[in-house]
Structure 1
Amino acid sequence: MYPSREVVGDVTMAQSIKCVDMHTTGEPTRIVYSGFPNLTGTLLEKRREASEKHDHIRRRLLWEPRGHWDMYGAVLIPETEHVASGNADMGVLFMHNDGFSMMCGHATIALGRFLVDAEEPVFPGRKRLRLNRDNSMVQLNLHVPSGILEITVPILPSGKSDVSRSVSFLSVPSFATGMSVPIPLPEAYRWPELGNRTSVTVDFSYGGAFYCLIDVEELGFPDRLVKPDLGRTSHATKLLKAAINANPSLTEFAKHPDVDQAGYLYSVMIVDAEQKHPTRIADGSFVGEETGLCFFANQQIDRSPTGGCVAARIALAYAKGDLALGQRWLYHSILSKSHAGIGGFAGSVAEVLPRAAKTVSPLGNSPQVRVRVEGQAFYTGMYTVVVEEADVLGKSGFVLNPMEGSRNGG
Structure 2
Amino acid sequence: MRERFATIDYHTAGEPFRIVPDLGIAIDGDDVASKRVFAAASPEVDRARRLLCFEPRGHADMYGGFIVEPDDAGAHLGVLFWHKDGFSTACGHGTIALGVWAIESGLVTADESGTTDVVIDVPSGRVTARVRTDQAGTVTGADFINVPGYVLARRVPVQTSRGEVLADITFAGAIYAQVDATAVGLSIEPEDVSEVIAFGREVKWLLNDSAHAEHPSDRRLNGIYGTILYSDHSADGVVHQRNATVFADGELDRSPCGSGTCARVATLTEEGILPVGGELVHDSIVGSRFLARVVAEGVEAGHRATTTQVSGIAHKTGEHVFEVDPRDEMTPGFVLR
- Normalising by the residue count of structure 1, what TM-score does the alignment of the two structures yield? 0.77
Give, as a single letter, the amino acid of the residue that structure 1 aligns with 2:70.
Answer: T
Quote the offset at 1:170 in angstroms. 1.1
Aligned position for 1:166: 141
Residues 1:254 and 2:220 are matched in the alignment? no
Task: Report the counterpart of residue 100 of structure 2 in structure 1.
Answer: 113
- 1:242 lines up with 2:205 in the alignment: yes
Q: What residue identity is the alignment partner of 1:81? A: D
* Structure with larger Rg: 1
Structure 1: distance between partners of 2:23 and 2:153:
42
Superposed, 1:131-146 pairs within 5 Å as 131=111, 133=113, 136-146=114-124
State the shift of 1:230 in Å.
1.9
Q: Write the letter of the residue equivalent to 2:141.
A: S
Q: In structure 1, what is the equivalent of residue 292 of structure 2? A: 347
Aligned residue type for 1:330:
V
**Superposed, which structure 2 residues align to 1:27-38 within 5 Å?**
27-38=15-26
What residue in structure 2 maps to residue 51 of structure 1? 40
After superposition, the Cα gap between the structure-2 partners of 1:36 and 1:215, relative to the gap in structure 1 and judged at 3 Å, is farther
SS in structure 1 of the partner of residue 280 of structure 2: strand
CA RMSD of aligned residues (A): 1.9
8 Å contact from structure 1 (residues 146, 259) kept in 2: no
Q: Is the 8 A contact 1:324 1:349 kept in 2?
A: no
Counterpart of 1:407 in structure 2 is: none
TM-score by length of 2: 0.93
Displacement of 1:132: 5.8
Letter of the 2:93 counterpart: H
> Identity of counterpart residues, as a percentage?
29
Check the 8 A contact 2:244/2:252 in 1, yes or no.
yes
C-alpha separation in 2, matches of 1:378 and 1:398: 27
SS at match of 2:35: helix
Shift in alpha-carbon separation, 1:227–1:153, aligned structure 2, 3 A: closer
Q: For residues 137 and 235 of structure 1, do their structure 2 counterparts lie closer, same or farther at Cα, with a shift above 3 Å needed?
A: same
Alignment of 1:217 with 2:154, yes or no, is no
* The structure with more strand, counted as a fraction of residues: 2
Q: Does 1:291 align with 2:279?
A: no
Letter of the 2:306 counterpart: V
Give the superposition deviation at 1:26. Answer: 1.0
- State the AA in 1 paired with 2:286: L
Contact 2:50 2:84 in 1 (8 A): yes
1:271 matched residue in structure 2: 230
Deviations 1:286-308 (A, max 9, x none): 83211001100010010000000
Name the CA distance, whole Å, in 2 between partners of 1:227 and 1:389.
39
Task: Kindly provide the CA deviation profile for residues 184-240 of structure 1, in whole angstroms up to 9, marking residues without a partner as x.
Answer: x2xxxx42xx2xx3x22111111110000000122x21x532454222222222222
Check conservation: 1:18, 1:383, Cα contact below 8 A: yes
Q: Which amino acid aligns with 1:321?
A: G
What are the Cα deviations for residues 17-73 of structure 1, in whole angstroms up to 9, with x where unaligned?
Answer: 111111111100011012341211221221122111121111100110101000001
Q: Which residue of 1 aligns with 2:128?
A: 150
Identify the residue that residue 64 of structure 1 maps to in structure 2.
55
Q: Distance in 2 between matches of 1:105 and 1:182?
A: 28
Q: Distance in 2 between matches of 1:51 and 1:398?
A: 18
Q: 1:204 aligns with which of 169, 180, 188?
A: 169
> 1:378: how far off?
0.5
Please say which of residues 320-329 and 287-296 is displaced more in the overlay. Answer: 320-329
Q: Alpha carbons of 1:259 and 1:87: their partners in 2 closer, same or farther (altered >3 Å)?
A: farther
After superposition, the Cα gap between the structure-2 partners of 1:290 and 1:138, relative to the gap in structure 1 and judged at 3 Å, is same
Aligned equivalent of 1:40, options 28, 33, 38:
28
Aligned length: 334
Runs of 4+ in 1 over 3 A off after TM superposition: 156-159
Unaligned runs of 5+ in 1: 1-12, 279-283, 337-342, 405-410
Query: CA distance change for structure 1 residues 369 and 132 in 2, over 3 Å: closer, same or farther?
Result: farther
1:376 matches 2:313: yes
Quote the offset at 1:242 in angstroms. Answer: 2.0
Structure 2 residue aligned with 1:73: 64
